[in-house]
């Protein structure tokens, strides 16, 4: 019968060799108990719903359902379960996506057994652990200047997209079924909001900043 002080851990990774390696890590520690393995996000959710999991070690990149989505569902359906993301990817969108999904910690797969064990214990106690790479990503995201939004309306974005396509004011008016004066008003507003001096600059900025599709 499991010791009540043991932390019950579920390993989630679509690669069996990775799961085996992590399982070997856990056997070293008396207070960590491997209660299961899952090869997919859906399987992980199912095992957490069975109620015998404290902490999940979650891979991010998996087919069908990625780790971020699986994390979000686990946290919604089993809020008592803490999720540690364990991945090879320290990219900004991966880190932020995982934490927004509800992961308490973000570690890279190059962690040592002791570091992983400490992170599991911390997660079980409600404390976060971030790899140095993940911490650097979050600091960079918080301190870098934000891209201006320019506050263009949906109609102005539509007009700007037509400008990028090279349409003239009369052509845009015909395409959008509005008067030429309306188009002229929209173009003037767009130039003002973008802070540019003419259509050419507006088009160049729209392309550079991916303002329109």
Collect all residues with Cβ–Cβ distance below 8 Å to 135 and sequence separation of at least 6.
none
Position 3 scores a pLDDT of 58
Please compute the mean of the pLDDT values over residues 3-12 and round it to a whole number.
88
Q: What residue spans in the chain does CATH classification 1.10.10.10 cover? A: 154-208
Collect all residues with Cβ–Cβ distance below 8 Å to 56 and sequence separation of at least 6.
9, 10, 11, 12, 44, 48, 71, 74, 81, 82, 83, 84
Residue 4 banded pLDDT, cuts 50, 70, 90: low
- The CATH architecture of the domain made up of 154-208 is Orthogonal Bundle (1.10)
Domain 7-143: assigned CATH number:
3.40.50.2300
Q: What is the pLDDT of residues 12-42, one digit of tens each?
A: 999 999 999 999 999 999 999 999 999 999 9
Neighbours of 98 (CB within 10 A): 26
Q: What residue spans in the chain does CATH classification 3.40.50.2300 cover? A: 7-143
Q: Look at the pTM and tell me if it is higher than 0.75.
A: no
Position 1 scores a pLDDT of 43
Please compute the mean of the pLDDT values over residues 138-153 and round it to a whole number.
83
Cβ pair 40, 14 in contact under 8 A: yes
């Amino acid at each position: 019968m499991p010791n009540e002080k043991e932390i019950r851990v579920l390993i989630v990774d679509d690669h069996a060799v990775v799961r085996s390696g992590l399982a070997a890590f856990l056997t070293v520690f008396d207070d960590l108990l491997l209660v299961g393995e899952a090869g997919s996000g859906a399987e992980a959710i199912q095992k957490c719903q069975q109620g015998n999991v404290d902490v999940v070690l979650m891979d991010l990149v998996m087919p069908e359902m990625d780790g971020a989505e699986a994390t979000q569902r686990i946290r919604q359906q089993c809020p008592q379960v803490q999720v540690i993301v364990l991945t090879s990817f320290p990219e900004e969108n991966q880190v932020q996506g995982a934490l927004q999904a509800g992961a308490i910690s973000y570690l890279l797969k190059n962690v040592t057994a002791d570091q992983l064990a400490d992170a599991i214990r911390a997660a079980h106690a409600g404390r976060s652990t971030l790899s140095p790479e993940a911490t650097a990503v979050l600091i960079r995201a918080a301190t870098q200047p934000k891209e201006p939004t320019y506050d263009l309306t949906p109609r102005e974005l539509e007009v700007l997209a037509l400008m990028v396509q090279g349409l003239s004011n009369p052509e845009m008016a015909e395409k959008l079924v509005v008067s030429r004066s309306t188009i002229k008003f929209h173009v003037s507003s767009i130039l003002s909001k973008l802070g540019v001096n003419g259509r050419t600059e507006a088009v160049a900025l729209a392309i550079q900043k991916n303002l329109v599709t």
